[in-house]
Amino acid sequence: MLTDVATNSAFYTARRWLQECQDDHAKCPGKKAPTLPSRVIDVGSETKRGSVKLLVNSTPCKAHYTALSYCWGGSQQVTTTKSTLDDHVTSIPYDQLPKTIQDAVMATRNLGISYLWADALCIVQDCAVDKAQEINKMGQIYKNATLTIAAASAKTAHEGFLQPRPRIPSCEIPIYYDHQYDYDFATVQSSDADEPLYSRGWTLQERLLSPRMLLYGQKELTWQCQQNSSESLGTTFYQRSTGCKRLPVGIFVNKKLSRKERPSNTQTKQIWQSIIEDRLPALAGIAEQLHGIWGDYVAGFWKNCMLAHLA
C-alpha cells in the first residue's frame, strides 16, 4: 500500500489509472478535451513552482482540467473577489494558497494536466451575480472535468491531502484449520463514507457527477470511475463498493446506448430516491443531467412520476 501519496511512484500509478480509463473503459469519457469552465487556474509546471495564475476563458476553448472537491472548513484567506480578480489573472502567490489547493496544484501538474478548477479562486466570491451563474454551472464543471481530485481526508482547506498516511501495522491471526472441510478467506474493506469530505452536502453532486475521481482518503489513494475502482494497494482495477451509487452511464458517454446498456426506469428511480434527502441547490446539477431521461423537474420531484414520489 502506498503510504506516501506524494511520491513519483504514487503519481505514476494515478497517471496509469487515468490513461487506462481513457483508453480502455467503454463506460467512461475518452481523451477528447472538454470545454474549459469560465475560469480555471493555470498550474504552470513543476519547474515553475510559484507560477500560478487565473485563466479567464472568455472565448470558450477546450483543454483537459481537474476539478477539486474539498472542505472549506471556514473562511479562506486567498479567494478571488472583485478587487483581486485582475491581480489573480496576472499571478496568484502559490505559497499563500491554503494547503489543500497547493496540493491540488501539485497533483494536477504531476498528472500532466495544465488546468485546475477550485471554487474559492474560480468564482468571484463577493459578486452575487457571478456566484449564482457559476453555481448553476457546477454540475457541468464536475461532469466535464477530465478528473476530479477529492481531498477526502481533509476537514479544512488548510490541512492538505498529500501528507504521508500512517502505515497499517501487519499482524498474524491464528486460524484453526480442519482438513476435513474447505474454507474460503477474504479481507473485508471499509467504506469511504466516513471520510470528512462526505459530511459536506455539496460533495454529493460533485461525487455523483464526476466521471472519474482520484480520492485521497485517510488511509489510501483510491480511483473511482464509471467502470471500475482501484486502490493503491494493487496495480489493477477491480470492483469495489464505494458506498455511493453511480448515476446512469449514458450521461457521461456521448453515444447512443443499446437497450442492454441503458438503465431501466426502476434502476434510475432507485438511484434518485437514494439521493433526494440532500438540499435542492446541491442537487440542481444532478437533476439537470437526469432531465434528459425523465423530463420536467419540479422542487425535488419528477413530473412524469410525481405520484410515485409522493407515495
Between vectors from CA 284 to CA 279 and to CA 289, what angle results, nearest 5°? Answer: 135
What kind and span of H or E run contains 116?
strand 115-117
Residue 141 half-sphere exposure, CB side, CA atoms within 13 Å?
25
Task: For the chain, give the number of residues.
Answer: 311
Q: How far apart are CA 37 and CA 140, in angstroms?
A: 9
DSSP class of residue 229 equals: E
C-beta separation of 69 from 217 below 8 A: no
Q: How far apart are CA 278 and CA 206, in angstroms?
A: 13
Instruction: Please classify residue 218 by burial: count the beta carbons closer than 10 Å to its beta carbon, then call 0-12 exposed, 13-18 middle and 19+ buried.
Output: middle
Residue with the larger pLDDT of the pair 67 and 230:
67
Convert the pLDDT of each residue in 91-118 to its tens digit: 999 999 999 999 999 999 999 999 999 9
Domain ranges of the chain: 8-166+190-254, 263-311
Q: Which residues partner with 214 through β-bridges?
A: 149, 223
Convert the pLDDT of each residue in 152-199 to its tens digit: 989 999 999 999 877 666 666 666 666 655 555 555 455 555 666 766
Q: What is the mean pLDDT of residues 55-70?
A: 94
Q: How far apart are CA 37 and CA 62, in angstroms?
A: 9
Which pLDDT value is given to residue 65?
Answer: 98
Residue with the larger pLDDT of the pair 35 and 242:
35
Joined grid coordinates for residue 95: 505559497
pLDDT above 90 for 311: no
Backbone angles phi, psi at 189, to 5 degrees: -100, 140
Report pTM: 0.73
Q: How far apart are CA 117 and CA 101, in angstroms?
A: 10
Average pLDDT, the chain: 78
